[in-house]
Structure 1
Amino acid sequence: MSAQAQPVWSASSGLAFVLLFGAVNLFADMTYEGARSVTGPFLGMLGATGFIVGTVTGFGEFLGYALRLVSGRWADSSRMYWPITLAGYVVQMVAVPALALSGSWPIAAVLILFERIGRATRNPPRDVMLAQAGEQMGRGWAFGVNEAMDQCGALIGPLAIAGLLAWKGNFHLAFACLALPAIITLLLVFGARFTFPDAGRIAREPQTSQVGRYPPAYWWYCLGAGLVGFGFADYSLIAFHLSKSHIVANEWIPIFYAFAMGAGGIGSLIVGRLFDRLGLFVLLPVTIVVAVYAPLAFLGGFALSLLGALLWGIGLGAHESVMQAAVAHMIPRERLGSAYGVFGAIFGIAWFAGSAALGALYDVSVVAMVAVAVVAQLLAVVPIAIAGRRVRTH
């Protein structure tokens, strides 16, 4: 492939691409984060236990990350970044409104898993295109802006669901109404495809003896992110706890989630910008502070639970904005999709194992569950620090 086949992004064209995809993800997040804000109580209403909620949502996160290994390698080998991205968005945006048709927790669980499969399919090729577009403007800032727009949708969606629940008190109606932002998402992403048809067109570079290997910093970062994921309870378990303990009324649960997403959006902008200056070291204080989310969310009353949810959102936004940017700094662009896939698989396995373990511990001892979550988060500081030092001295 010639050099001319690869699009040359300027800061302005890269920003335009990032903003357009930010709009795509804003409406996508309105759709699936609106649904996710109440999947815990919804599954509970359909007869699921805490263990089932933790396992279903954890396995969903596992699929949402582990299957990126497949889609990432597929994207790198086929160079079909756009077709794979579009297919993932279609699956995801169909699965969410279909929850309105579910009448039992197993059916709802299958749809929840399909939504995660769609996300797993579209994320690696999409992130390769975003990383490429962000080369001139700063990858941390590019992913930070994209994540901030994500979180705007993640704020609006749960608030809309909260309003619908307060008005009608009907989960099925709330899920049906999410068809509107789902349709807008698909229109926007197909529009982006026709506006930037050459996005993701990457020249194949000469093979070297290092093919098949990733640098040590990458593996240290994978370990740190895996520990973060293990200790990061899915919001569905937090929502299940808030509902079961009657700490807040059901209509307040998506509002908590909306506030968490808003905090995550602000956090992603700040941390994304700082990453371009400080590298991975910016995650060290963030990880330590965010570790406090678990005792606040699961052991506190209304105010402390809200603070815990805010810290949970900040942690999610910070790690989501830095993850992709950090990997792009460590891996050559022609292998970036595969690297995102491997990273996602490791993170997904850790999140699934952690969610299942935390869900099981919740049914036995909330204090023990909180202790495991905090320790896992704090242990992540060491490998993240090692990765940051290795990247800086490389």
Structure 2
Amino acid sequence: MAIATRHPHIAGLSRNTFLLALASLFADISTEMLYPVLPIFLTQTLKASGSVVGLVEGVAVATQNIVQGFAGSLSDRLQRRKPIALAGYLLAAIGKPAMGVATFWQGVLGGRFLDRLGTGARSAPRDALIASSVDEANRGRAFGLEGVGDNAGAFLGPLLAVLLLIVWHLDTRLIFYLAVIPGLLAFLMVLLVEERPVELMAKAKIDVSFRRFPKAYWKYLQATALFGIGNSSNAFLILQTKDIGASLTTTILIYAGFNLVAALVSYPAGSLSDRLGRRNILLLAFAVFLITYIGFALTRHVALIAMLFVFYGLYQGTFRSVGKALASDHVPEQLRASGVGWYNTTVGLSGLVASLVAGWLWDGVGHAAVFLFGAACAVVGSFALLMLVPYVKHDGTVGR
């Protein structure tokens, strides 16, 4: 695959990949300033129930990922990535202060929907830009670098929230307003990206119908969905941490540590998948998820929860970078935004189901049931990944 050569490449990575990693860094600082505060804001300030938290987060995740499928298809039809990504980054930035003005949980739902609508619109075109900015042999590393930016932002965002809330004693609602600043910086990074024309751009209309995707791609989505219906929102991990007695500051710091681990592991995991095969690395991530969720179901000790969050970061950093790279491997370049987009749609729809089920289990059965259900789905998803998705060797041939 030909790639732009006007800019020097560092270890197989182009200027665009670094700019897009910085965009993810700033965007996630903006998001994660709010994320660990949001479920507590809903339940304590607005007096919402656990089911409402599940609904808000389920709708948010589903919106983000469903939109990615359509945004990816639109990007492939137009054969343009950058303008759609820019619009998404701007919309997501605007959605942050919209949550801060809410006086009822429905208002938070509306602001969260707007935020995730923008996030969904930008993600698939951005991922297509990443995939097209490097050759296939370095694709895992490119997505890993973006994962570093994303998870580093997820680490720095909660720390910034602690600084603003605990050290400077700012009102919680003001955090929502300040989150727009890093969101706009992310927009600026994408503005500096140079989009490479796609080879098929001369065609008047690109066929992006579902029939164009290979069977192996759909099998991968099936395995992803079976795993994903147990992967509920991280908000339930935060609520569990707070429920067993951790203070708000401790909860936010634990969550920040989780994201630091995810940031540190993203690039090595992506690079390792380039050499050892993405399916194998993804299976390891599912196993880590299984162990973590069993641990959350069984322990009531803050120190052990903190250790489990660190372990969970290994899963998060690996799944985010390797999962998207594997989806990208299964589709041709002209369908790449659609392929990654519909993969994320699958993650989102299964996440919606998972969060709704988790909310019902949290309120009606017990907190441990949320994590035991997720662990069971991890077992099913692992077997599906092993049986349905072939092992792709480094030379591109398929094995088992």
Q: TM-score, normalised by structure 2?
A: 0.89
Aligned to 1:117: 117
C-alpha distance in 2 between matches for 1:131 and 1:331 = 11
How many residue pairs are counted as aligned between the two chains?
Answer: 385
Aligned to 1:259: 257
Shift >6 Å, 4+ stretches: 205-208
Match of 1:183, as an amino acid? L
C-alpha distance in 2 between matches for 1:274 and 1:289 = 16
Aligned to 2:377: 376
| Kept in 1: contact 2:72–2:341 (CA 8 A) | yes
| 2:198 pairs with one of 196, 201, 205 | 201
In structure 2, the gaps of 5 or more residues are: none
C-alpha distance in 2 between matches for 1:85 and 1:121 = 6
C-alpha distance in 2 between matches for 1:258 and 1:224 = 29
Aligned to 2:155: 155
CA separation of 1:297 and 1:200: change in aligned 2, threshold 3 A: farther
* Per-residue deviation, residues 39-82 of structure 1 (Å, max 9, x unmatched): 11011121210011011101110111111111011000012211
| Kept in 2: contact 1:93–1:183 (CA 8 A) | yes
Shift, 1:28, TM fit: 0.7
Aligned to 2:237: 238
* Per-residue deviation, residues 136-164 of structure 1 (Å, max 9, x unmatched): 66000000011012111110111111222
* Per-residue deviation, residues 17-51 of structure 1 (Å, max 9, x unmatched): 11111111111110012211221101112121001
C-alpha distance in 2 between matches for 1:388 and 1:268 = 22
Shift, 1:298, TM fit: 4.7
C-alpha distance in 1 between matches for 2:233 and 2:166 = 24
C-alpha distance in 1 between matches for 2:199 and 2:31 = 30
| Kept in 2: contact 1:217–1:386 (CA 8 A) | no
Aligned to 1:69: 69
Aligned to 1:190: 191
| Kept in 1: contact 2:283–2:382 (CA 8 A) | yes
C-alpha distance in 2 between matches for 1:289 and 1:29 = 23
Shift, 1:293, TM fit: 1.8
C-alpha distance in 1 between matches for 2:157 and 2:391 = 40
Shift, 1:107, TM fit: 0.6
More helix by share: 1
CA separation of 1:29 and 1:16: change in aligned 2, threshold 3 A: same
**Residues 1:330 and 2:327 are matched in the alignment:** no
Aligned to 1:35: 34
| Range 139-148 or range 287-296, more displaced | 287-296
| Kept in 2: contact 1:330–1:391 (CA 8 A) | no
Match of 1:147, as an amino acid? G
CA separation of 1:52 and 1:200: change in aligned 2, threshold 3 A: farther
| Kept in 1: contact 2:262–2:318 (CA 8 A) | yes
Aligned to 1:92: 92
C-alpha distance in 2 between matches for 1:381 and 1:309 = 21
Q: Report the 3-state secondary structure (helix = DSSP H, G, I; strand = E; otherwise coil) of the residue aligned with 1:36.
A: coil
| Range 339-348 or range 110-119, more displaced | 339-348
C-alpha distance in 1 between matches for 2:269 and 2:54 = 29
Aligned to 1:144: 144
CA separation of 1:361 and 1:211: change in aligned 2, threshold 3 A: closer
C-alpha distance in 2 between matches for 1:304 and 1:256 = 11
C-alpha distance in 1 between matches for 2:180 and 2:65 = 24
Aligned to 1:248: 246
Aligned to 1:83: 83
CA separation of 1:339 and 1:75: change in aligned 2, threshold 3 A: same
* Per-residue deviation, residues 95-130 of structure 1 (Å, max 9, x unmatched): 113322222211111111111111110011111110
Aligned to 1:219: 218
Cα RMSD, aligned residues only: 2.4
Kindly report which structure 2 residues correspond to 1:281-300, keeping only aligned pairs within 5 A, or say none.
281-300=280-299
Aligned to 1:278: 276
| Range 216-225 or range 138-147, more displaced | 216-225
Match of 2:121, as an amino acid? T
Shift, 1:295, TM fit: 3.2
C-alpha distance in 1 between matches for 2:174 and 2:30 = 13
* Per-residue deviation, residues 293-320 of structure 1 (Å, max 9, x unmatched): 2233354210121122223332222111
CA separation of 1:264 and 1:49: change in aligned 2, threshold 3 A: same
| Range 285-294 or range 269-278, more displaced | 285-294
Q: TM-score, normalised by structure 1?
A: 0.91
C-alpha distance in 1 between matches for 2:368 and 2:15 = 47
| Kept in 2: contact 1:129–1:200 (CA 8 A) | no
Match of 1:188, as an amino acid? M
**Residues 1:385 and 2:386 are matched in the alignment:** yes
Shift, 1:220, TM fit: 2.3
Match of 1:365, as an amino acid? G
User: What is the percent sequence identity of the aligned residues?
Assistant: 24
Shift, 1:7, TM fit: 4.0
C-alpha distance in 1 between matches for 2:313 and 2:232 = 11
Aligned to 1:180: 181
| Kept in 2: contact 1:28–1:185 (CA 8 A) | yes
In structure 1, the gaps of 5 or more residues are: none
Match of 1:57, as an amino acid? E
C-alpha distance in 2 between matches for 1:228 and 1:381 = 7
CA separation of 1:273 and 1:390: change in aligned 2, threshold 3 A: closer
Aligned to 1:349: 349
